[in-house]
Structure 1
Amino acid sequence: MAFPERIDLSQLSAPHGGSPRLTGHLARPEGSGPWPGVVVVHEALGVDDVMLRQTQHLARMGYLALMPDLFTHGGTRRCLVPTMRAALSGHGRAYRDIEAARTHLAQHPASTGATGIIGFCMGGAFALMTAASGDFQAASVNYGILPKQMDEVLKNACPVVASYGGRDRMLKGSAARLDAALARAGVVHDVKEYAQAGHSFLNDADVGPRPLRPLFRVSGMGPHPESAAQAWQRIESFFATHLKQQPSPG
């Protein structure tokens, strides 16, 4: 299967308050479809080969997978801080860019119209914040920061599958808090913490500047293949139920 195709989403983002320039990376399954779509929201370090392979993995699972590059207009250094702030505010340019990607998938001739969202790290926060937007039929939250007003954010949320690492010092206790909040909201959910995993454990390789990678490892950040395999199995099963087996929206 080829690496995801680079596409231009600017015409869907710019007129609606999104990025003036927006690049997306689209991976499609083999065959003729139609398939459900999944918007992929990347980590705080941006689009790299690891995130492209995650997108490709979703295509192998049977989804049109589209990852918008939220740092297209301005680059990682200029966009990282405002995008992280937007992730927890629930509004801003990045949300318009995610909507542009969702619209592209919904309009794609090979789409069933059903669409999910999956996010990693920073992207996990976006996936959680958009779960109640009414635009997605399922959300996968992977080591995403939790919003302060969680009960308010999760009202009427779509089904959520979430994965956290027990060795993730930045997000200690997040899995239990999210599980309780989703239960209070009456949202269908599957939340699991993997005791031996840390932050970014779903990645298949170390990321970030090479000199800093040993520091990341010491902080508990990086791949944990056994936990990742189990988490992907849960995501695949959850998405199959809520995206593949449900009637297409409206």
Structure 2
Amino acid sequence: MSKFLRLLRRAGSAVCFCLVGGLCGGQASADQPVRLESAAVQPTPFQRRIAQQNGQVLKTVPGTPLNGYLTRPPGEGPFPAVVVLHGCTGLSSSARKSWSELLSSWGYVVLMVDSFSTRGIRETCDRVMPADRVYDAYGALAFLSEQKFVDPRRIALLGSSAGGSTTLEAVRLGGAEKLMERKFKAAVAYYPNCSAANGDMAVPTLILIGELDDWTPAKKCQEMMARRSGKGSPVQLDVYPGARHAFTAPGNKIGAEDYGHRVEYNAAATERSEKDARVFLKQAFGG
């Protein structure tokens, strides 16, 4: 084999390693595939106490391997970062592209988490939100915290629809966040289901929802805000007039029925929400 071919093979191996590990220096390509794990599930103090009373020992449940897609802005960093969780239909290429491009253009490292592919799940729109996704969020937080180009003190969580509901649960005061060593700095939830949330959050939280959403109604989020105890961090609710569920998805420009609910893109609400989210994250990250 010629010297040139040997060098070419070595270069190719290095490229493959970068694509899998996401740890190469310099600027990473957009949508760079990475592998990570969900956070291990720790037994709660109550569960441990009950187990001890019964002569049992509870073990930590190891994390699940996950696929992710990493995008970073130009430069060495360290940069603030955002973990993004998809909705109940999974991580589409269009959502992956739009969120990665938008958030990285604001100067953030972006990690899109695919919660379904390694679990063999296609969608969960007619099921209860899997609790595992909360641990996916914290596994992504741990992954980003270990990257030299990320500021581990400035990592936010953002989710839409079912991912937004997961976001609220992940930062619920006294919930799973209490068991985690690393904490998110802030959270943004697009059109989440607020029915089960008590509104008390461990970090500053922004909720963005459409006035006409009939899948995850804005009224439920308004009721959640009214019953907040006042504990924890500030929570901001922005309701956009005339907007329906999935108002940020340009693929739904003419509107459609999805699982018995109306989903429809709304350019005005999308633009307004992007401005609101950008200001919120900038304030949360301290400038």
| Aligned amino acid, residue 149 of structure 2 | A
- Match for residue 279 of structure 2? 237
2:140 corresponds to 1:101: yes
| Aligned amino acid, residue 34 of structure 2 | I
Q: Which secondary structure does the structure 1 equivalent of 2:87 belong to? A: coil
- Match for residue 184 of structure 2? 136
9-18 vs 127-136, greater mean Cα deviation: 9-18
| Cα 1:166–1:11 shift into 2, 3 Å | closer
Deviation at 1:56, TM superposition (A): 2.6
| Aligned amino acid, residue 89 of structure 2 | L
| Cα 1:160–1:221 shift into 2, 3 Å | same
2:276 corresponds to 1:228: no
Q: Which secondary structure does the structure 2 equivalent of 1:80 belong to? A: coil
2:220 corresponds to 1:174: yes
Contact 1:24–1:66 under 8 Å retained in 2: yes
Looking at structure 1, the residues matched to 82 and 106 of structure 2 have their Cα atoms a distance apart, in angstroms, of 11
Structure 2: gaps of 5 or more residues: 1-27, 42-59
Looking at structure 2, the residues matched to 23 and 241 of structure 1 have their Cα atoms a distance apart, in angstroms, of 30
| Aligned amino acid, residue 144 of structure 2 | L
| Aligned amino acid, residue 75 of structure 1 | G
| Cα 1:31–1:183 shift into 2, 3 Å | farther
Deviation at 1:57, TM superposition (A): 1.3
Looking at structure 2, the residues matched to 194 and 235 of structure 1 have their Cα atoms a distance apart, in angstroms, of 13
- Match for residue 101 of structure 2? 56
1:119-198 aligned within 5 A: 119-131=159-171, 132=173, 133=177, 135-148=183-196, 150=198, 154=200, 156-172=201-217, 173-182=219-228, 184-185=230-231, 187-198=233-244
Deviations 1:144-164 (A, max 9, x none): 11253515xx2x521011111
Deviation at 1:220, TM superposition (A): 3.1
Aligned residues: 230
Contact 1:182–1:189 under 8 Å retained in 2: no
Q: Which secondary structure does the structure 2 equivalent of 1:233 belong to? A: helix
Deviation at 1:180, TM superposition (A): 2.5
| Cα 1:11–1:216 shift into 2, 3 Å | closer
Looking at structure 1, the residues matched to 274 and 222 of structure 2 have their Cα atoms a distance apart, in angstroms, of 20
Deviation at 1:85, TM superposition (A): 3.0
Deviation at 1:32, TM superposition (A): 2.0
Looking at structure 1, the residues matched to 39 and 211 of structure 2 have their Cα atoms a distance apart, in angstroms, of 39
Structure 1: gaps of 5 or more residues: 87-91, 208-212, 246-250
Deviation at 1:217, TM superposition (A): 11
2:36 corresponds to 1:9: yes
Looking at structure 1, the residues matched to 232 and 140 of structure 2 have their Cα atoms a distance apart, in angstroms, of 28
Deviations 1:153-188 (A, max 9, x none): x2x521011111111112221231233245733631
Contact 1:216–1:222 under 8 Å retained in 2: no
- TM-score, length-scaled by structure 2: 0.71
RMSD across aligned positions (CA): 2.9
Contact 1:37–1:63 under 8 Å retained in 2: yes
Contact 1:194–1:227 under 8 Å retained in 2: yes
Looking at structure 1, the residues matched to 127 and 139 of structure 2 have their Cα atoms a distance apart, in angstroms, of 16
**Among 192, 202, 227, the residue aligned to 2:248:** 202
**Aligned sequence identity (%):** 20
| Aligned amino acid, residue 202 of structure 1 | T
| Cα 1:106–1:235 shift into 2, 3 Å | same
**Who wins on radius of gyration, i.e. which is larger?**
2
- TM-score, length-scaled by structure 1: 0.81
Looking at structure 1, the residues matched to 126 and 185 of structure 2 have their Cα atoms a distance apart, in angstroms, of 27
- The runs of at least 4 consecutive aligned structure 1 residues that moved more than 6 Å come to 11-15
Deviation at 1:227, TM superposition (A): 0.5
Structure number having the greater helix percentage? 1
